[in-house]
Amino acid sequence: MSAQTPPPFGLSQIGQISIPVRDLPRAGAFYRDSLGIPFLFEVPRMAFFDAGGVRLLLGLPENAGLDHASSILYFKVPDIRQASSALQSRGVTFVGEPALVARMPTHDLWLAEFKDSEDNILALMCDAVRAS
């Protein structure tokens, strides 16, 4: 009997993304009420949300080295103009208008950046299928 070689290790699925915040109640209200992301639970210094199966952790930084702006999260939407309009109606500030970033073989990639309550940059992304 020969020993089987284990498959190579690799990361592929995001389970949770941490976003540093300075005011947890304000940030929690923004993600829940302005963005409409379902709230899961809160523990001291952290609040958790369900972004389509990926857990978002909003947390007060544990030390000065963790007190910085976050990575950009891209939220997939089916209609970027409708999504940006809905968010603007809730007081969300966009950095600019939705923009065509790339024409792909089967669709167009659109992006629109906005700020959260803590000045982190977030974005909408839309893979818009072109009419034939």
- The per-residue DSSP string of 5-17 comes to PPPPP------EE
Q: Which residue has the higher pLDDT, 1 or 12?
A: 12
Higher pLDDT, 65 or 41: 41
Span 79-94, average pLDDT? 94
Query: Is 121's pLDDT higher than 80?
Result: yes
pLDDT at 57: 94
Pairing relation of β-strands 54-59 and 16-20?
A: parallel
Domain ranges across the chain: 16-129
Q: What confidence score (pLDDT) does residue 13 get?
A: 81
Q: Which residue has the higher pLDDT, 22 or 9?
A: 22
Residues 48 and 18: their CA atoms lie apart, in Å, by 9
Q: Return mean pLDDT, the chain.
A: 90
Q: What's the pLDDT tens digit per position in 46-83?
A: 999 999 999 999 999 888 877 888 788 989 999 999 99
**pLDDT of 130 over the 90 cut:** no
Identify the burial level of 116 via C-beta atoms within 10 angstroms of its C-beta, where 0-12 means exposed, 13-18 middle and 19 or more buried. Answer: buried
Q: Residue 131 pLDDT more than 80?
A: no
Q: Which CATH number fits domain 16-129: 3.40.50.300, 3.30.360.10, 3.60.150.10, 3.10.180.10?
A: 3.10.180.10
Phi, psi of 96 (to 5 degrees): -165, -175
* Burial category of 82 from C-beta neighbours within 10 Å (exposed 0-12, middle 13-18, buried 19 and up): exposed
30's enclosing H/E stretch is none
pTM (predicted TM-score) = 0.74
- pLDDT score, position 132: 64
Instruction: Look at residue 1 in the predicted model and tell me its pLDDT.
Output: 54
